[in-house]
Amino acid sequence: MLLVFEQLLNGLQLGVTLFLLSAGLTLIFGIMQVINLAHGSFYMIGAYVAATVTAYTGSFLLGLAVALPVTALIGMLVEMSMLRRLYHKEHVDQVLATFGLIMFFNELTRIIWGRQPLFMDVPAWLSGSIELIPGIPYPTYRLAVIGVGLLVALFLYLMFAYTRIGMQIRAGASNREMAAALGINIKRLYTLVFGLGTLLAGLAGVMAGPILAVEAGMGESILILTFVVIVIGGIGSVRGAFVGALLVGMVDTLGRAFLPLFFRLVFPAATADGAAASIASMLIYLLMAAILIWRPRGLLPAHS
Amino acid sequence: MLLLISATLLLLLLPTLLGWLGEEYLISLASRILIYALVAVSLDLMLGFGGMVSLGHAAFFGIGAYVVAIFTHHSFDGSPVLSWPFVLPGLDGALVLWPLAILVSALLAAIIGALSLRTSGMHFIMITLAFAQMLFFFFVSLEAYGGDDGLSLFARNRFPGLDLSDDTHFYYLCLAVLGIFLLIAYRLVSSRFGMVIRGSRDNEKRMQALGFPTFRYKLACFVIAGAAAGLAGALIANHTEYVSPGLMHWTHSGVILVMVLLGGSGTLFGPVLGAATFLILEEVLAIYTEHWMLYLGPALILVALFARHGIYGILTGRERNNV
Question: How many Å apart are CA B259 and CA A261, to the nearest integer?
Answer: 45
Q: Is B47 helix (H, G, I), strand (E, B) or coil?
A: helix
Q: Does A273 map to a domain?
A: no
For residue B138, which residues of chain A lie inside 8 Å, CB to CB? 278, 281-282
Question: Residue A243: what pLDDT?
Answer: 94
Question: How many Å apart are CA B300 and CA B304, to the nearest integer?
Answer: 6
Q: What is the mean pLDDT of residues A239-263?
A: 90
B307 CB within 8 Å of a chain A CB: no
| Cβ pair A231:B304 closer than 8 A | no
Task: Of B9, B16, B61, B3, give the one whose Cα is nearest residue B275.
Answer: B61
Question: Residue A303: what pLDDT?
Answer: 63
Q: Does A20 map to a domain?
A: yes
pLDDT digits (tens, 9 = 90+) for A109-129: 999 998 888 888 888 888 888
Q: Report the 10 Å Cβ neighbour count for B85.
A: 6
Q: Does A262 map to a domain?
A: no
**What does the mean pLDDT of chain B come to?**
90
Question: How many Å apart are CA B315 and CA B113, to the nearest integer?
Answer: 34
Question: How many Å apart are CA A12 and CA A274, to the nearest integer?
Answer: 26
ipTM of model: 0.89
| Cβ pair A96:B300 closer than 8 A | yes
Respond yes or no on whether the N-terminal peptide bond of residue A296 is cis (omega within 30° of 0).
Answer: no
Question: How many Å apart are CA A83 and CA A89, to the nearest integer?
Answer: 10
Q: What is the mean pLDDT of residues B107-119?
A: 93
Model confidence at B54: pLDDT above 70: yes
Q: How, if at all, do strands B151-152 and A136-139 pair?
A: unpaired
pLDDT digits (tens, 9 = 90+) for B58-86: 999 999 999 999 999 998 888 888 877 78
Q: Which amino acid is at B268?
A: L
Question: How many Å apart are CA B8 and CA B12, to the nearest integer?
Answer: 6
Q: Does A173 map to a domain?
A: yes
Model confidence at B318: pLDDT above 70: no
Q: Does A250 map to a domain?
A: no
B2 CB within 8 Å of a chain A CB: no
Which string of DSSP letters, residue by residue, matches A19-40? HHHHHHHHHHHHHH----TTHH
Q: What is the mean pLDDT of residues A245-269?
A: 87
Q: What is the mean pLDDT of residues A34-50?
A: 93
pLDDT digits (tens, 9 = 90+) for B157-209: 988 888 888 889 999 999 999 999 999 999 999 999 999 999 999 999 999 99
Q: What is the mean pLDDT of residues A220-244?
A: 90
Task: Domain of residue A114: give its range.
Answer: 2-216
| Cβ pair B300:A100 closer than 8 A | yes
Tell me the residues of chain B between 127 and 186 that have a Cβ less than 8 Å away from chain A. Answer: 127, 129-131, 133-134, 137-138, 140-144
Residues 6+ apart with CB under 8 A from A203: A20, A46, A64, A68, A148, A152
Q: What is the mean pLDDT of residues B139-162?
A: 88
Q: Does A236 map to a domain?
A: no
Is there a contact between B56 and B128 (Cβ–Cβ < 8 Å)?
A: yes
B299 CB within 8 Å of a chain A CB: yes
**What does the mean pLDDT of chain A come to?**
88
What residue spans define the domains of chain B?
35-249
Model confidence at A150: pLDDT above 80: yes
Handedness of CA B203, B205, B209, B215 (dihedral sign): positive
The tally of domains found in chain A comes to 1
**pTM given for the model:** 0.90
Question: Residue A301: what pLDDT?
Answer: 82
Question: Residue A249: what pLDDT?
Answer: 94
> Which one-letter DSSP state was computed for residue B291?
T
Model confidence at B319: pLDDT above 70: no
Question: Residue B321: what pLDDT?
Answer: 46
Q: Measuring CA to CA, how many Å separate A249 from each of A219, A289, B38?
A: 17, 16, 38
pLDDT over 70, % of chain B: 98
Greatest Cα-to-Cα distance within chain B, rounded to the nearest angstrom: 60
Q: What is the least distance, in Å, from the CA of A282 to any CA of chain B? A: 5
For residue B291, which residues of chain A lie inside 8 Å, CB to CB? 107, 110-111
CA B270 from chain center: how many Å?
14
Q: What is the mean pLDDT of residues B288-310?
A: 85
For residue A285, which residues of chain B lie inside 8 Å, CB to CB? 130-131, 133-134, 137
